[in-house]
Amino acid sequence: MTAGSAAQRQSAQRQQVQRQQVQRQRAQRRLAYRLRRAAAIVAGLVVGALALPVVAIAQPAGPTQLEASDMALFNGVRQAGLWEMPAGQMAAEKGNQKRVREVGAEIADQHVELDKLAVEAANKLGVQLPTEPNADQKAWLGEMKNASGARFDRIFIDRLRAAHGAIFPVIAAVRSGTRNETVRELAQEANDFVMTHMTLLESTGLVRYTNLPPANLPPPPDGSLLAAAQANDVPGSAVNGSVIWVVLLAALVVGAVATFRVFRFR
């Protein structure tokens, strides 16, 4: 072997070593890049999965349909006005006691105001309101027309106080549970009016409490809402626990595939 050929072989060996070093560096850079990409994919999916419930709960549930209870409030408030306005005017004109006349005038005036609120809310939601009192209310108005003196006062107070006691829990139930903001506002207003009217009627000293129906309490809460919240399956939420687990599982599968591909190409 000549000195020249030995030098050529050494040069070739050095070049091969350099090529191998370059290839190793390239492979390391590719590996690092693929690892970063796989980590970013997995991290993005996990973060997205964790954010899903928050986003879903924060989003509005869309247009709210009126419930039967909402309509009960509309009909009750409207029909209360349709018979209490003439009843109050009658009391203001022919009440036997001065306080009955005062209370009748006040109730009639206040129902003009409440009726206006009910009509405005109904127009806003496209609700059709009754245009006349119900059969019972018409009959009570007939009783009052045919009565006079102390008998009129008795009928006026008895009928109106009983009617307010009947609608009061309906308004409270709607105020507590309605999903509609306009209905909630109307229920709040109506609650104040009804409470005021009961107080006015009672201020005459003519209310016979023992003749009123006894208090009818609603059933106690069963804790179902609390249980649903603890199960992360709150009614109204668009995403439940099962969906979150599916997304997390998908993230793990994608991560595993990406990792496999990274090491396969090494």
Binding site for Fe ion (CB under 5 A): 84, 197
To Fe ion, the closest distance from the beta carbon of 104 in angstroms equals 11
The dihedral formed by the CA atoms of 44, 47, 49 and 55, expressed in degrees to the nearest 10? -120
Nearer CB in complex with Fe ion: 84/115: 84
Q: Where are the alpha helices (DSSP H) in the chain?
A: 3-58, 68-94, 98-125, 135-145, 149-177, 181-202, 224-230, 241-264
Nearer CB in complex with Fe ion: 70/84: 84
Point out the residue whose Cβ comes nearest to Fe ion: 197
Nearer CB in complex with Fe ion: 175/197: 197
Nearer CB in complex with Fe ion: 152/239: 152
**Residue reference for tokens 């970063």:** 36
179 C-beta neighbours (distance < 10 Å), count: 13
The full length of the chain comes to 266
To Fe ion, the closest distance from the beta carbon of 173 in angstroms equals 18
To Fe ion, the closest distance from the beta carbon of 136 in angstroms equals 15
Q: Provide the token pair at 10.
A: 């050494």
Nearer CB in complex with Fe ion: 82/183: 82
Nearer CB in complex with Fe ion: 114/239: 114
To Fe ion, the closest distance from the beta carbon of 196 in angstroms equals 8
To Fe ion, the closest distance from the beta carbon of 51 in angstroms equals 50
Nearer CB in complex with Fe ion: 67/102: 102
- Cα 160 to chain centroid distance, Å, stands at 33
To Fe ion, the closest distance from the beta carbon of 76 in angstroms equals 10
3-state SS, residue 231: coil
Q: Provide the token pair at 183.
A: 């209905």
3-state SS, residue 125: helix
216 C-beta neighbours (distance < 10 Å), count: 7
Do the beta carbons of residue 117 and residue 171 sit within 8 Å?
A: no
Do the beta carbons of residue 266 and residue 28 sit within 8 Å?
A: no
For 16, residues 6+ apart whose C-beta sits below 8 A from its C-beta are none
